[in-house]
Amino acid sequence: MKTEQIRDLAIKRHNIDANHFQDTYRGLNNSRKSKVFLYGRNMVLEELDALLKKIPVGSKILDIGCGTAHLTNWIKEKGFQVYGLEPSKNMYNYAIQNFPDIEIKKGISSELPYPENFFDMIVAFEVLRYLDKSENIATYKEIYRVLKPKGCFFVTQVNLFSTDFYFIFHKLKGAYCNFLNKTHHHCNFTTPSMQEKIVKKVGFSDVTTIGRMSGSIRFFYKFGNRVGDLYRKFFSKITKQRFTKASNKVFAGHLLVVGTK
């Protein structure tokens, strides 16, 4: 598929998933999928919270792919001047309904509707994973353009070697969909070293990659909440599930990329 097709497919998927995310963030969805999703997301929020504490209150922050805007509002409540950007119609409608006091625009990550040197920080949760490499690079270039000097970004990516074995599952499902002539969404599998190389090439002066949550926890939840809960509690006792060494962060369930202009 071409870049535009992959991007349009990602938007269509989020139109379909809008109700699911709205219910999940409002605590109305107790499914296995939502449970493990929120577990990992809370770890990602820990990292974002630590970074936000280093930024002056009142700074301008953009949430790319803000979805239902619950994260956007979470940032706003910490005292920041926050903006949201969302291409999905259904997600956008939820966002402006949920938080009408936040400025939220419709738009895509590779064409940010903001002037140069406008933001102190940019956040993108579960956005770049749905876009191909060229769109990822175009997005990083746009992030660089609208960030102020010394501004930073915080994005999530999908680890190629995550121990949830999602890469294998995604490829098998892709083959199945091709056989039945069905559409299968794109996933941008990457590694910490790949991200560091791309981000530095765009022009960022510094980049850090961090792994959060053991991918194996997501795998064990596939056998049910009881099995997943037992494994999660066991794993939580032996590690904080925060990986910074190259030898272990490559296997994490969440790959975080933080860069400074």
DSSP 3-state of 61: strand
* pLDDT, tens digit only, all 261 positions of the chain: 899 999 999 999 999 999 999 999 999 888 888 888 999 999 999 999 999 999 999 999 999 999 999 999 999 999 999 999 999 999 999 999 999 999 999 999 999 999 999 999 999 999 999 999 999 999 999 999 999 999 999 999 999 999 999 999 999 998 998 888 888 889 999 999 999 999 999 999 999 999 999 999 998 988 888 898 899 998 888 888 999 999 999 999 999 999 999
- Report yes or no: 234 and 136 within 8 Å, Cβ to Cβ: no
Task: Kindly report, residue by residue over 161-217, the tens digit of the pLDDT.
Answer: 999 999 999 999 989 988 888 888 899 999 999 999 999 999 999 999 999 999 999
Interatomic CA distance for residues 189 and 167, integer angstroms: 7
The strand ranges marked E within 162-205 are: 189-190
Neighbour tally for 188: CB within 10 Å: 17
Is this structure's pTM higher than 0.85?
yes
Rounded-to-integer distance, Cα 214 and Cα 162, Å: 8
Angle subtended by helix axes 32-52 and 3-25, to nearest 10: 100
Cα end-to-end distance, the chain, whole Å: 32
Q: What is the pLDDT of residue 251?
A: 96
153: tokens are 């970004």
